Amino acid sequence: MPITPATATHSSSNGTADAILLELVDENGVTIGTAEKLSAHQPPGQLHRAFSVFLFDERGRLLIQQRALGKYHSPGVWSNTCCGHPYPGEAPFAAAARRTYEELGVSPSLLAEAGTVRYNHPDPASGLVEQEYNHLFVGLVQAEPRPDPEEVAGTALVSSAELSERHGRDTFSAWFMTVLDAARPAVRELTGPSAGW
């Protein structure tokens, strides 16, 4: 696994681990400060910048992931290809490409902006809150995923119909349908009408 800011061990001059900081934003997505990652997710949640990625194969199937069981937030649930938080000052596009590679071991062959969505989703299992200003991205994947087991428990490629069936049967992240619905216009443009998205 490559060593990146997300996977490297950080320690400050006094030997303690550095906190992971998120970018706090206002309702228009303008940066207003930073907060430590876990504290930003404590109820009622602090509005922060995030991103969500939806990658499709050449047949128009969506790559979804099951979050690793060791994740502090929404462990073991299915969700979109990749989601996360840019570092303060990091462009959402760069963060989306970085985390897709870190989590899944693949780089998108195409990645395009697909708008933004603002939501507030409590996680019933952990009690944490996703209060996010989310930048959406759609793209194509051509390589076989090589997931980091600390991040991802499993992956699947699903058609629109298969996703509907799986969504009715399996547990998905609280934010999944919100981000997918917001990204649908860009998804349809990318995959074409025959894919059924």
82 is catalytic: no
Residue 97: DSSP 8-state: H
The residue annotated as part of the active site, out of 82, 83, 102, 103, is: 83
Query: Per 3-state DSSP, what percentage of the chain is helix, strand, and coil (rounded to 5)?
Result: 25, 30, 45
H/E segment holding residue 39: helix 37-40
83 is catalytic: yes
Instruction: Kindly state the greatest CA–CA separation across the chain.
Output: 58
The residue annotated as part of the active site, out of 23, 130, 132, 151, is: 132
CA separation (Å) from 76 to 71, 72, 106, 154? 8, 10, 21, 9
Active site residues: 83, 132
